[in-house]
């Protein structure tokens, strides 16, 4: 004999397993698209390639090339001869939605 509590636990376990599998498969498709992204070199042909693309946007590409610092390269305090640069990030938020439960945007 199976009790209602056991059925509830089994049902919720199956529902959560299905939800997590769905999320896993969705993220796996995104990772596969990123791994199959074409590799482009940073050169003089890149602006023309972007202009010719649909919507002037390349969805997933891997850019390869030499990065030059705007002023001076950063040097590591912990590893001799290791240098780096800071990438300038631009965050564009498309829309704000008011969450009345959390009382925040």
Tell me, yes or no, whether 40 lies in a domain: yes
Is residue 90 situated within a structural domain? no
Q: Are the C-beta atoms of residues 20 and 26 closer than 8 Å to each other?
A: no
103, part of any domain: no
Alpha-carbon torsion, ordered 83, 87, 88, 94, to 10 deg: -160
User: Mean pLDDT throughout 21-25?
Assistant: 97
What is the Cα–Cα distance from 63 to 40, expressed in whole angstroms? 5
Inside any domain, residue 63? yes
pTM: 0.47
Q: Is residue 96, in this structure, part of any structural domain at all?
A: no
Question: CA-CA distances (angstroms) from residue 35 to 4, 31, 92?
Answer: 46, 6, 24
Tell me if 38 is assigned to some domain: yes
Domain annotation covers residue 55 = yes
* Residue percentage of the chain with pLDDT more than 70: 92
Is 17 among the domain residues?
A: yes
> What range defines the domain where residue 29 resides?
4-84
Give mean pLDDT, residues 80-85: 86
In sequence order, the β-bridge partners of residue 84 are 74
Instruction: Specify the number of domains making up the chain.
Output: 1
In the structure encoding, which two tokens stand for residue 32, read together?
A: 């596969």
Cβ atoms of residues 82 and 76 within 8 Å: yes
Q: Where are the beta strands (DSSP E) in 1-105?
A: 39-41, 62-64, 74-75, 83-84
Residue 5 has a pLDDT of 95
């Amino acid at each position: 004999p199976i009790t209602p509590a056991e059925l509830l636990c089994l049902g919720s376990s199956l529902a959560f397993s299905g939800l997590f599998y769905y999320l896993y498969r969705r993220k796996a498709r995104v990772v596969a698209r990123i791994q199959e992204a074409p590799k482009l070199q940073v050169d003089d042909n890149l602006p023309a390639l972007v202009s010719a693309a649909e919507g002037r946007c390349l969805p997933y590409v891997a850019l390869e090339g030499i990065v030059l610092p705007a002023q001076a390269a950063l040097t590591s305090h912990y590893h001799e001869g290791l240098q780096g640069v800071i990438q300038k990030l631009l965050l564009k938020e498309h829309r704000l939605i008011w969450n009345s439960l959390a009382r925040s945007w």
